[in-house]
Amino acid sequence: MHLMRDGARWIFVVALFCAPWAYGGTTAASITMINWLLLATLVLWIVELLINCRKPGFPRALLFLVFVLLAIGGWMVLNASSIGDSEFNAFAPLEKISPHLTGSIDYAISVAWMIRAALLLGVILFVGDLSQDDHWFLRLWVAIGIVAGSLAFLGLLQKATGAEMIFWQPALEPEFNTFFATYYYHANAGAFLNLVWPLTAGLAVRAFITPSNTGVRSLWVTIFVLTLASVFANTSRMAQLIAVLLFIPLAFQLGPRVVRRLSHVEKNIALAGAGAIFLALVAVGQASHLEQPITRWQSLSENISTDARWRAAAAAVRAFPEVGLFGFGPGTFRVVFPFYNKVSSAPAAGFWRFLHEDYLQTALEWGWLGGALWAALFFGGMVVAVRHYRSPDVRSWFPRRRLLLPLVVIALAGVALHALVDFPLQIASIQLYVATYLGLCWGSGAGGERRSAYGPAGGQITNNK
């Protein structure tokens, strides 16, 4: 059954490539494609588990959280009270299974959201199991690095050529030109880049602290430079601020590794290389019109007090007394918000598909209990990773595992910060990568350090970098 196991894993790698390249999963067609790829991955994985009678490698606490979240969301769908009519801004009532119990206020939206939620929760379980295979652990890391470099190169190329829109898309009105790479909205692009550039930094460092040829080292250093430069060439101020904040723990995490492994001569060469990288970043910044994000920073004081997202958040808070334990239903923010916005003392103009505050939106859609469970899944994974990384068992891990896991936690911390003022966790591609990282975190204590030295057939693996 190696064919099914490897088939599921390669399909998942394809999904990791397709999700950001298909407009970041922000269109109906791209979301559908991502869903089908993830469904194929999970079906093959489950069939392989059943045929081999193999126990997957993830903790019971993760399985419990997944089960409860699916149960809550599934009940909200089954007991939906209505279905929304966006044209008339009204709701058509449905017959509830239990009239006295809560249910989603929009059956159709909640069904679509729960399909995606079920697949993403399945991805966390799948990656938790996959991460126990040390060869695939590295392949997953390399795939993420290649995706990061390709997206960064496209975004920088668009900036350097003064593109008015994604190369293969027709130009829009100037006020809508907030695209970067394949993302229509620069903040989504920035959030994705902040998820992946810490991992490219790790790949660049790994190329120098393990036996690697010059070509491999040049490749990963180039990808790291391109990915980091793309964050600052992008015009999302929050993404740039988070990138600066992420750089601090990354320097403390990766710097000592490099210093310990290099000789005196190599350290001098590394310093010269760091200077060259800095000059390369300056050159890339000039070519990609870095003055545009600088101009946006200069106008920050003028725009922050008038930003509509603060009025939208205030309107959303008015709904909290009616949220309850289970909220209004998965994905229903867009149909709930207009009713509370219009009675607000200072309503936010326009149509709001997402609230620029992921935590408030999650509380509205999932309620206090559901929101707490999602928080436990997200932040609990980070805690599990940190706890196992600081345990004595970490000495038995392969170096690649010890190097990557802190970078994953740092990247997740970055997207958690970004979610305070934007909606990265509502974007399908970012959701997929976050689910992948959470799978690595939750799977860190499931025995990978005991099994990573052996291949699928029990043969000893000699490459233990």
Mean local confidence (pLDDT), 193-197: 96
Q: What is the distance between the alpha carbons of residues 255 and 165, in angstroms, rounded to a whole number?
A: 38
Highest mean pLDDT among 130-139, 287-296, 310-319: 130-139
Model confidence at 29, pLDDT cuts 50, 70, 90, reads: very high
Structure token pair of residue 362:
């999650």
Q: What is the pLDDT of residues 163-182, one digit of tens each?
A: 878 888 776 655 556 889 89
Q: What are the two backbone dihedrals, phi and then psi, of residue 66, each rounded to the nearest 5 degrees?
A: -60, -45
Distance of CA 378 to the CA centre of its chain: 11
Mean local confidence (pLDDT), 233-256: 89
Q: In sequence order, which ranges of 288-332 are alpha helices (DSSP H)? A: 291-298, 300-303, 308-317
Give me the numbers of helices (H) and strands (E) for the chain, helices first please: 17, 2
Model confidence at 212, pLDDT cuts 50, 70, 90, reads: confident
* pLDDT at position 243 over 70: yes
* pTM, entire model: 0.88
Angle at 360 between CA 197 and CA 228, to 5 degrees: 10
* pLDDT at position 262 over 60: no
Q: Give the residue with greater pLDDT, 341 vs 261.
A: 341
DSSP, res 425 = G
Model confidence at 379, pLDDT cuts 50, 70, 90, reads: very high
Q: What is the pLDDT of residues 111-145, one digit of tens each?
A: 999 999 999 999 999 999 999 898 999 999 999 99
Model confidence at 162, pLDDT cuts 50, 70, 90, reads: confident
pLDDT at 306: 60
Q: Which residue has the tokens 């607000």?
A: 344
DSSP 3-state of 183: strand
- Residue type at position 131: S
Q: Is 181 left (phi over 0), alpha (psi -120 to 50) or beta?
A: left
Mean local confidence (pLDDT), 49-59: 87
pLDDT at 273: 53
Mean local confidence (pLDDT), 323-348: 88
Q: Which residue has the tokens 């469970």?
A: 373
Strands 90-93 and 82-85: antiparallel
Q: What is the pLDDT of residues 395-421, one digit of tens each?
A: 888 888 889 999 999 999 999 999 999
DSSP 3-state of 420: coil
Neighbouring residues of 269: CB distance < 8 A, sequence distance ≥ 6: none
Q: What is the distance between the alpha carbons of residues 272 and 269, in angstroms, rounded to a whole number?
A: 5
* pLDDT at position 458 over 50: no
Helix (H) or strand (E) holding 430: helix 428-442
Outline where DSSP puts E strands in 64-193. 82-85, 90-93
Q: What is the distance between the alpha carbons of residues 215 and 389, in angstroms, rounded to a whole number?
A: 31
Q: How many CB atoms lie within 10 A of CB 133?
A: 21
DSSP 3-state of 290: coil
pLDDT at 107: 94
pLDDT at 454: 37
Q: Please tell me the least confidently modeled range out of 9-23, 298-312, 413-427.
A: 298-312
How many Cα atoms are found within 13 Å in the side-chain-facing hemisphere of 455? 8
Q: Give the residue with greater pLDDT, 441 vs 320.
A: 441
| Measured distance between the N- and C-terminal CA atoms of the chain, rounded to whole angstroms | 27
Model confidence at 333, pLDDT cuts 50, 70, 90, reads: very high
Q: What is the distance between the alpha carbons of residues 222 and 146, in angstroms, rounded to a whole number?
A: 11
* Residue 47, Cβ density class (10 Å: 0-12 exposed, 13-18 middle, ≥19 buried): middle
* pLDDT at position 455 over 50: no
For residues 155 and 234, the answer to whether their CB atoms sit within 8 Å is yes
